[in-house]
Structure 1
Amino acid sequence: MGKKFQLWQPRSTDCPESFSHLANIVKDNRKFEEIVQLNYGDHGLQDALDSITRAIKENKRIALYADYDVDGTMSCVSWIWFLKAIGYDNVLHYIPCRFEEGYGLNLDAVKHLIHEEKAELIITMDTGITANVEAAYCRNQGVEFICTDHHKIQQDKMPDCVILNPKLHPEEAYQELCGCGITFVLLRQLGREFPISSLVWNDILALVGMATICDVVPLNGVNHKLANLGVQALFRSQRPVLKEILRACSIGDQIDEKDVGFRIGPRINAVGRLKHADLVIQAFIDENPGDLIKYMGQCNEERKLIQAKIVEEAHHEAQKYDNDRVLFLGGDWHSGVVGIAASKIAEAYWRPTWMFGRKDGMCKGSARSIPGFDVTLAMQAVGELFAKFGGHAAAGGFSFPEEREPEIRMALNRYAEDIYESLPDIWQSKIHYDCELPLDLANLKLADELSNMKPFGHGFEEPKFTLQADIRNVVFYRDKITGEPKHTAVTIHHPFGSQKIMFFNEVHEELEFTKTARFIVSASKNTFRGTTSLSLMGVDWESVC
């Protein structure tokens, strides 16, 4: 048992004898099947292609309706760049306001698009799979409605329209595409009828990579390929907005999935979380996006402050429900930020977590889960209590009337209790590691080998290893503002001298009095002042003696 996790679980008991052996262990642990050539086929595409091709040739008014996160906005931008490249301008886009309209389609917005914007074809992206009411209204008005979405299908809310959803694909590998991924599939097929330049395809592919990483879809063979190609495309791109984003995030000679997921993505999402995501679209289609890119950064800094306050308050709220199987927490919280906060709380308490803000008698929020518990299935089980909900196994969004809060809390806990009876291990905090790492393999070549496997993410997690070593010394780095200890640096004895293990934002005072310890670490390269070395990041540790 470590200091942070109750269970350390090895994915393999093999001990690597070489770097190639280690690479095979990592891939086998993930059951990873590399995709050489992406081929979605024609599954569900033809009806959508026929309608869109006809609309373009007849110069119909096309409305693009997209969600407000990275996946939705990048899907929308993909469409705009494609249509601009073929010279088609009879198009408008619509991003709902997170606070006034909430997640998903809404009938008022559809009416606005039809009656005021004169839309003749509405295409949704990263949303729409539960829009049965809105699709029926479009049909009655003689307006074509095409749903491109990747979220779980709820049969009772499934729209009667042309649907392109990877969940309907017969091959499991393609079922996990994100919204921008399925948009890319559709645009590539549409490009056979309306060709565009390779430079535009490169830029659209960059958006697909960003969305695939930021939407945290499983990086199976298909998504890993798209994410990898997308990161490369982003680095190659000469489009001003993409170059400006890289500059704003201080990304220079190299870029990887961490830059996308932790630096670029939060800036884009912060705008939709705090303001209106239409500003993201404007930045990506503006000829001079500098000011809007700067504004994204300002929103992200504001988001961090709000998030910290919510997390602190949520910790106090969680104490009231110490015996509950799930946490269902509400407060005077910003509904655009509670999702990130819920992730922190779910990890801290190792319980499925729903967090929401209360406003004008309604509650809106986000759910985050732990491995093995599907929050969207949980909401489906008590669906009649929610006004609206949707999402994936690991995350979801929802809204409900405030007076139903106690009832929903009780119902979700009953559902979770039933699962606990048969699968209690779900509620034990655990971490998986790939294998034991011999100290003689803990060198820069290890980082090179792992770098060749990138990108890492959900479903193709960054490799973690255990190693046991004697401790040479421990140093605590202090916060520049408060002067209090903030980071822990452990120097261990190594066959070739010494090696440092860093625990960022963690203070482990007990290590000062520990002679030998086992660590769980991740490994990467670190370049400082022209020198590149192996960087080991501490994840957890336990004393041996």
Structure 2
Amino acid sequence: MHKTLWKTVEGKGNENVEIQGVDPVITRILEQKGITDVEEIQEFLSAKPKKTYDPFLMKDLAQACDLIEKVYNNRGHILIYGDYDVDGITSTTLLMDFFQGFYNNTSYHIPNRQEEGYGLNLETLKELVKTRKPELLISVDCGITALEEVDFLKEQGVEVIITDHHTPGEELPKSLVINPKRKDCDYPFKELSGCGVAFKLTQGIQRRLQLGKKILNQNLDLVALATVADVVPLRDENRTLLKYGLQRINERRRLGLKVLLEEIRLGDKKITPGHIGFMIGPHFNAGGRVAEARTGVELLMTRDQNRAREIARHLARCNEERQEIQQVGLERCLTEIEEKYSEDDFLIVDLPGLHEGVIGIIAGRIKEIYYRPVLVLTNSEDPEVYKGSGRSIEGFDLYYEMSGFKDLFQKFGGHPAACGLSLEKGNIPRLRQELNKRAKELKEENPELFLKKIKIYAKLEEEKLHKGFIDTIHQMEPYGMGNEKPLFLLENLRVPAKGKQRLGKEKTHLKLKGRVPGGKQELEAIGFNMVEQYFEELQSPDALDVVFFPEMNVWKGRESVQLLIQDLRSREEE
């Protein structure tokens, strides 16, 4: 049954911190996350956090404000050039909303994924320069590698500001570049989303032009969407932006977002990062994957109820289509892996005819199934050029490892957990050979690298499992990348024969009921989509160790403790 490595999270500082009103288990968990002193803990748990930084600490931001002020005074046209994912859509909307609050000579462009690809496209820029005649182009969530494209714009007399959060290459574009990951940037927090970087630019402009703060606060919902959907760490300044952004989302002030929430049956729900990551974000992404991403910007900007409803329904249909395309592509890739590459340590699947818009999602699903770094490639319009998307596991820096083979790529960019690239089809065999060789070397150095791990923050006794304790756990929300849910261990849960059930329409969910020896309450645990993995192997009766996250379940007005199962282990396996 047990195929996952259970690891107890070690502390990083003073675990003896005591704060009035804060459960010691909470302070211990935060200590294990590296949050150790009283002020840090209070800031982390605060409903109104204050951690943010002066935007002018970011390299080139002051000069960018100077340039924008100059264009503003000249009444010149400002063109926003975005990306087709949630981060790019929200970043574009944020700058358009911001500028339209005091300046109306602006427009935007979101590229078509299939026709133009990621980032600044030279042919598109030629057309935009000719038709829109911008005095200034501002990129959002892209542009850090656009050396040739920026040179072209400068030759045409167009000023350029690059705002991005992706890892820069050895050479920066010859323009103003606002990116906290620049080696020469002293901004204290490096992990903002692309929309977060754009927001810092608007903070600087707001100060420079002495605009009211409302023009900033009204766009925090966009920053929250991007922060979760782009899977940046929910720590430090991101946590502040997300908390206030979630408040804004739950006030339902943005018409288009409100209508979308109603369309996807979240109209009456309190929106959480989980809703953004698994429901809201995919609907915006679906527009860019199977149709046009600019409809997402239009939805977020519209003030027309009927148009909002029309676009929301369109995005829902796109998401359904995306799911179908994704499932077909995933099944093709899994068949290819089982037939050819099941023993590889770095999985590279190259198949013609996959939908380019879903290869990143497919790579992520394969990574979860096999727990290995994955690259999924498919042909472009040129059958000899393949485009690819990669996803990686903890401890395998995909950007660093693949950067060693840049000579094979036509385009390449990304970060430790994900990347995108294009290369000639003939280079794929060498890339597969080299990356497998490198993965094998790392596996030999660390045999646990390709073993999926579950972090356990504390062992809980049965008496801790009550509403009061579970309410304190919520103080550490919002959870997500960089602030994962703390998982707990409950030992020796005795489950009788009648204490295991299959649940759900397809009977795929596992439900357990049992007690620990000497316990005062019957405990209920549920594992979503865990029947196939565990049901037949459970003995009757069985004594289990359970890794879980505790929640309160409400059914017909009655509240009860429920353990959300992450993993199980029979006591006899010890």
**TM-score, normalised by the number of residues in structure 2:** 0.89
Residue of 510, 513, 520 corresponding to 1:488: 510
Which residue number corresponds to residue 350 of structure 2? 330
Q: 2:7 is matched with which residue?
A: 9
Superimposed CA distance per residue, residues 145-166 of structure 1 (whole angstroms, 9 cap, x where no aligned partner): 110000001014x211100001
Please tell me whether the aligned partners of residues 527 and 564 of structure 2 are also in contact (alpha carbons under 8 angstroms): yes
Paired AA for residue 564 in structure 2:
M
Q: How far, CA to CA, are the matches of 1:24 and 1:243 in structure 2? A: 37
Partner in structure 2 of residue 25 of structure 1: 28
Q: What's the secondary structure of 2:120's corresponding residue? A: coil
Q: How many Å separate the matches in 1 of 2:99 and 2:17?
A: 51
CA distance in 1, matches of 2:313, 2:270: 22
What letter is aligned with 2:527? F
Summarize the alignment of residues 232-251 of structure 1 with structure 2, pairs less than 5 Å apart: 232-251=247-266
Confirm or deny that 1:406 pairs with 2:429.
yes
Per chain length, whose mean CA-contact separation is higher, i.e. which structure has more relative contact order (CA < 8 Å, sep 6+)?
1
- Who is 2:556 aligned against? 529
Q: Distance in 2 between matches of 1:37 and 1:349?
A: 38
User: What residue is the counterpart of 1:231 in the other structure?
Assistant: 246
On the 8 A contact 2:164/2:197 being kept in 1, the answer is yes
* Alignment CA distance shift 1:20-1:417 (3 Å): same
- How far, CA to CA, are the matches of 2:289 and 2:414 in structure 1? 17
Could you tell me which amino acid in structure 2 is paired with residue 520 of structure 1? V
1:418 alignment partner, SS class: helix
**CA 1:372 to 1:309, structure 2 compared with 1: closer, same or farther past 3 Å?**
same
Distance of 2:342 and 2:51 partners within structure 1:
50
- SS across alignment from 1:174: coil
The match for 1:83 is 99
Q: For each residue in 1:268-304, what CA deviation from the matched residue of structure 2 results, as whole angstroms up to 9, or x when unmatched? A: 1111111110111111222221110111111112222
> For residue 140 of structure 2, what is the amino acid of its counterpart?
M
TM-superposition CA deviations, 1:479-525 (whole Å, max 9, x none): 53xxx531100112163421211111121222243521001111233
**CA distance in 2 between partners of 1:394 and 1:421 (Å):** 21
Counterparts of 1:4 and 1:336, CA distance in 2: 32
2:207 counterpart residue number: 192
Shift of 1:201: 3.0
* Structure 1 counterpart of 2:309: 290
Q: Any conservation in 1 of the 2:65–2:208 contact (CA below 8 Å)?
A: no
Report the secondary structure of 1:452's partner residue: helix
Which residue of structure 1 lines up, in the alignment, with residue 76 of structure 2? 60
How many residues matched?
Answer: 538
Deviates more, 1:491-500 or 1:142-151: 491-500
Q: Which runs of 5+ in 1 are unaligned?
A: none
Q: How does 1:47-446 map onto structure 2 within 5 Å?
A: 47-86=63-102, 88-156=103-171, 158-168=172-182, 173-194=188-209, 200-251=215-266, 252-288=268-304, 289-319=308-338, 320-331=340-351, 332-359=353-380, 360-361=382-383, 362-446=385-469
Residues 29-58 of structure 1: CA distance to partner in whole angstroms, max 9, x if unpaired?
Answer: 211344633113412211111111111121
Using the alignment, how far apart are the partners of 1:19 and 1:490 within structure 2? Answer: 31
Of the structure 1 ranges 492-501 and 64-73, higher mean CA displacement relative to structure 2 is found in 492-501
List per-residue Cα deviations over 1:239-262 (Å, max 9, x = no partner).
211221222232325221111111
> Which residues of structure 2 form unaligned runs of 5+?
none
Cα root mean square deviation, aligned: 2.3
What SS is found at the alignment partner of 1:167?
coil
Using the aligned pairs only, state the percent identity. Answer: 32
Give the SS at the match of 1:328: strand
- Out of 501, 505, 509, the position equivalent to 2:525 is 501
Give 1:497's aligned amino acid: Q
Query: What TM-score comes out, normalization by structure 1 length?
Result: 0.93
Structure 1 residue 435 displacement after superposition: 1.5
**Take 1:171 and 1:139, find their aligned partners in 2: how far apart are those partners?**
27
Letter in structure 2 aligned against 1:477:
R
Structure 1 residues 81 and 533, CA, compared in 2 at 3 Å: closer, same or farther? farther
Q: Is the 8 A contact 1:16 1:438 kept in 2?
A: no
Partner-residue secondary structure (3-state), 2:378: strand
Q: Report the Cα offset of residue 19 of structure 1.
A: 7.1
Q: Give 3-state SS (helix, strand or coil) of 2:219's partner.
A: helix
Deviation at 1:200, TM superposition (A): 4.5
